[in-house]
Structure 1
């Protein structure tokens, strides 16, 4: 069959062959590598390198569990090979330009819905296709200013953990223009939430394992929530307390906003008895191994909240920062500090038996994480509804 005949009589086959020839589409089907699947969903990853890998790791198992025909779409060739090695069973495509995305979608007319894990500029290549449904699933839940911006209106739906995120957007006072905010829980926190049934003081034979999770310094000063400027001081002071082990896991973006923090890990490595966790280690396994947390304003607050342990939250007094406001203030479930003296005073009080925010954490769990939908696997069920094969 000539190319012209194929285009006229079987355009779907023509575009698929074209994608094979230019190397855009790589189907991981060992027994029949050239057999194409009638995908119903795309998981779009607009990030590059390790960032892309971390977002895929966050969601991949849940997309597989939903048993839907989905394709991971990457936008960078080097990232493609990185993901290909890490996820050998995944169906992956790489389209670096809008033109290549258009060609891909022409070849795959069964696609119904696109899911987005972050707000990257290259999302536009897919968002311009109005015949598709566009759903933002994000990669965390926090009061960072970026949690309530008008750019969410580019999507048909914004899947959020719980009521807190809906309230942040509502309190930002802008018209939704048709955007639907759908509560689906946070599937990534399901296993962590099972730890909540055991009191935090009794999890490690009355020992205290403190995990410090500073965020990165951000791009804009008004969104610099980081405690990196004081991390060495804070760490040394906490290590002086009895019966406390301290671990730190830096944010992968550390140093990207301020180059002076690019080598902060070297300073931390010089602190005696401090455990510096490798960047590529899964965060959840260290949250499980901890029962006290120091955090900055970021998505890790809700992850630590899942295990119902005291959270000491750094909020600077010397910076004018902007946040997205929910209807529950941090002070209702986190111990707020801005100096090492305040931090040590609060930790001493809490481990001494006065955990006066215990009830607040329980309320925040339900408000922010959405306990019911998280434990009932609502996220997976919604995936199945949006991308079921019999819709095609």
Structure 2
């Protein structure tokens, strides 16, 4: 693990960075002296210093570049010192010195080719188009670079000369200069192996980067498929969950649906689905693409790139979001640009009505949450009560942060773990945790360490992150939820199981419930977490849960009625818009009249 560098470690930083030029000076001195033994020792010190410096001081490359001592410069200095050693050492012929110089020069060209190839292969996110599920031969996003090749390229970048330098120095020390050739050959073989692996993939990248040819192919495939409904997702791979939550719902529609994304990495990051997935990266390509068959576009977020599809006048544009919550962001004024805003239930309508977002009430449609059909209602049957702690992330700024992780997270987990073998914990942090605040990431790591320590004593607790982070699976495995103000609350409601909402700022309970209606049937937890023991005793004991009836009423308010089911309501809303015809007819707009010429 990388050692943290504090504000008191300025001398350590300076000495750390200076250790690299110092070892290089020692290397040159040993070469000038023509001493293979001292040169070998200095070379070993140099190669060991490289990873040590960057482990202790991750930003060391910046001052090194300022001093014109970047990775390439350091490599050339080592190579120059090595050739100088051969020239200064006694008993070495001119042919061997020339072999060292020419061999290292050739390795530098191989190194350059390897690094250029690796750079091109890692340009996957600059592809103009990428697709999934559009048929054989489609312009698919390249497969991920294997770990062995990533490590090999890293070694080539910083240590391409290590084998010839070390083996050659040993050869001089034992009076077998020809060992130099073996070092050169081994290094060349490693780089040629990388180039050989890269070659077919570089050919694929060349084809994929040909935007005009690939664009025609993608347009033909999309036109042949004829999508009527498009899910438009502009996020990156880290928030692909926002698109994933809609995939199964769109698969169940009777109309042809497609997923449209704007970042090539997302094509591979989205969950398995039979829906066609198309990435159009560039704005000009989006605007030139033919979307004639599309009747309804569904948007998961309010982002600037939405403009590139919103400009299409013949498409009905709908904001569906990625979860209903009482956060301010769930009633964003930007939502006014959409033809309709779809919410789960009456709570969503009231949220917009009570806000200053300016969204027309007639533009709001209650469609439920079709994604929640798989959440089971009632007791889990767990032998040991299980509590799910699912905090939200720290938000874009402190004024819109509902996260309990920093002020309360460790207290909550500590209190839960203190229950001993009579309670199980599932910790499922938000995928964005720590993206804005390093302190939140540190708190997350401490919580994980607490749970791992408890598990060493046979705790059986779980930390659920990354690809395994199925929130609905966590819902079904838990007997109670602890969370923050977020869409997690409304998504948990179909279970009718008790839930706890954190109140990290210690707001008065009545005011808190009034400000956040989703907490009206919750047990509230203040910043000190003093209530948690009593809440656990009540909420995890059958028959002692006084808020059980309130949750039934709240479920209908947050998610809408049970009949017709959410999928039916969602599909009906799609059909209604798809068949609505031109906007002038749907919204009863007057037909513009051109005055007669005088």
Q: Which TM bucket (shorter chain)?
A: 0.7 to 0.9
Question: Displacement, 1:341?
Answer: 0.9
Q: Quote the residue 2:232 is aligned against.
A: 44
Q: Quote the residue 1:247 is aligned against.
A: 426
Distance 1:87 1:324, change over 3 A: farther
**209-218 or 324-333, which deviates more:** 324-333
Question: Displacement, 1:162?
Answer: 0.2
Q: Is contact 2:299–2:320 with CA below 8 Å preserved after alignment? A: yes
Question: Displacement, 1:67?
Answer: 2.9
Cα distance in 2 for partners of 1:247, 1:163 equals 31
Question: Displacement, 1:88?
Answer: 6.7
Cα distance in 1 for partners of 2:294, 2:337 equals 19
Distance 1:205 1:81, change over 3 A: closer
1:93 and 2:290 are equivalent in the alignment: no
1:133 and 2:313 are equivalent in the alignment: no
Q: Quote the residue 1:348 is aligned against.
A: 537
Q: Is contact 2:333–2:356 with CA below 8 Å preserved after alignment? A: no
Cα distance in 2 for partners of 1:232, 1:327 equals 26
Cα distance in 2 for partners of 1:359, 1:369 equals 16
Q: Quote the residue 1:58 is aligned against.
A: 245
Q: Which of 207, 211, 219 is residue 396 of structure 2 equivalent to? A: 219
Question: Displacement, 1:294?
Answer: 0.3
Give unmatched runs, 5+ long, in structure 2: 1-126, 139-219, 583-598
1:268 and 2:447 are equivalent in the alignment: yes
Q: Is contact 1:142–1:298 with CA below 8 Å preserved after alignment? A: yes
Cα distance in 2 for partners of 1:126, 1:326 equals 38
Cα distance in 1 for partners of 2:449, 2:318 equals 45
Q: Is contact 2:489–2:518 with CA below 8 Å preserved after alignment? A: no
Question: Displacement, 1:301?
Answer: 0.6
Q: Which of 353, 360, 367 is residue 170 of structure 1 equivalent to? A: 353
Q: Quote the residue 1:299 is aligned against.
A: 487
Q: Quote the residue 2:384 is aligned against.
A: 207
Cα distance in 2 for partners of 1:188, 1:240 equals 35
Q: Is contact 1:112–1:387 with CA below 8 Å preserved after alignment? A: yes
Cα distance in 1 for partners of 2:514, 2:309 equals 30
Cα distance in 2 for partners of 1:27, 1:344 equals 50
Q: Quote the residue 2:405 is aligned against.
A: 228
1:359 aligns to what SS in structure 2? helix
Cα distance in 1 for partners of 2:358, 2:280 equals 33
Q: Which of 543, 552, 568 is residue 377 of structure 1 equivalent to? A: 568
Question: Displacement, 1:73?
Answer: 1.2
Q: Which of 125, 129, 134 is residue 24 of structure 1 equivalent to? A: 129
1:237 aligns to what SS in structure 2? helix
Larger radius of gyration: 2
Cα distance in 2 for partners of 1:177, 1:164 equals 15
Question: Displacement, 1:180?
Answer: 0.6
Q: CA RMSD in A?
A: 2.9
Q: If each structure's helix is expressed as a fraction of its own residues, which one has the higher value?
A: 2
**234-243 or 284-293, which deviates more:** 234-243
Question: Displacement, 1:376?
Answer: 5.7
1:147 and 2:330 are equivalent in the alignment: yes
Q: Quote the residue 1:10 is aligned against.
A: none
Q: Is contact 2:343–2:349 with CA below 8 Å preserved after alignment? A: yes
Q: Quote the residue 1:16 is aligned against.
A: none
2:318 aligns to what SS in structure 1? strand
Question: Displacement, 1:74?
Answer: 1.1
Return the structure number with greater relative CO, CA threshold 8 A, min gap 6: 1
2:298 aligns to what SS in structure 1? strand
Cα distance in 1 for partners of 2:132, 2:462 equals 41
Q: Is contact 1:214–1:228 with CA below 8 Å preserved after alignment? A: yes
Q: Quote the residue 2:374 is aligned against.
A: 191
1:97-116 → structure 2 map (5 Å cutoff): 97-104=282-289, 107-116=290-299
1:207 aligns to what SS in structure 2? coil
Q: Quote the residue 2:497 is aligned against.
A: 309
Alpha-carbon displacement from aligned partner over 1:141-193 (angstroms, at most 9, x marks no partner): 1100111121111100011100001001111145335861001111111221x
1:76 and 2:263 are equivalent in the alignment: yes
Cα distance in 1 for partners of 2:314, 2:133 equals 27
2:230 aligns to what SS in structure 1? strand
Aligned residue pairs, count = 357
Distance 1:326 1:146, change over 3 A: farther
Distance 1:219 1:45, change over 3 A: same
Cα distance in 1 for partners of 2:424, 2:323 equals 27
Cα distance in 1 for partners of 2:549, 2:389 equals 23
2:563 aligns to what SS in structure 1? helix
Q: Which of 475, 488, 499 is residue 287 of structure 1 equivalent to? A: 475
Q: Quote the residue 2:591 is aligned against.
A: none
